[in-house]
Structure 1
């Protein structure tokens, strides 16, 4: 993430507060949280499908082994 110190984080927080206002920040964070949650769910689903596919491949006898 780089070398962000306290002053940089404080400056970013002040800019966000000025741009969005006090009432919009909770709504913005809620939407951001939903987006992150959906991304993680999709990532987990893809990972599970890949693992299931690998297990299926290992279980099924290949045509070259006959």
Structure 2
């Protein structure tokens, strides 16, 4: 199962929405829009995983 709060999901959705709107306003090609949004999501997941790993390491020390 997943972890998280509704507020975190709402903030994430707002960030993605603002990012997509900005890319449209800048007239970025739709392919690149998908790539940029995908990279942002992947980076967010990696940062979250790194934070979780650090918390576990600190708890075991």
TM range (shorter): 0.5 to 0.7
Tell me the residue number matched to 2:25: 18
Tell me the residue number matched to 1:28: 36
Q: Higher relative contact order at CA 8 Å, sep ≥6: structure 1 or structure 2?
A: 2
- Which ranges of structure 2 fall in alignment gaps of 5 or more residues? 1-16
Size of the aligned set, in residue pairs, is 43
Q: Distance in 1 between matches of 2:45 and 2:57?
A: 18
Indicate the RMSD between aligned Cα atoms, in angstroms.
2.2
Higher radius of gyration, 1 or 2: 1
Given the two structures, how large is their TM-score scaled by the length of structure 2? Answer: 0.58
Given the two structures, how large is their TM-score scaled by the length of structure 1? Answer: 0.54
- Which ranges of structure 1 fall in alignment gaps of 5 or more residues? 1-8, 54-66
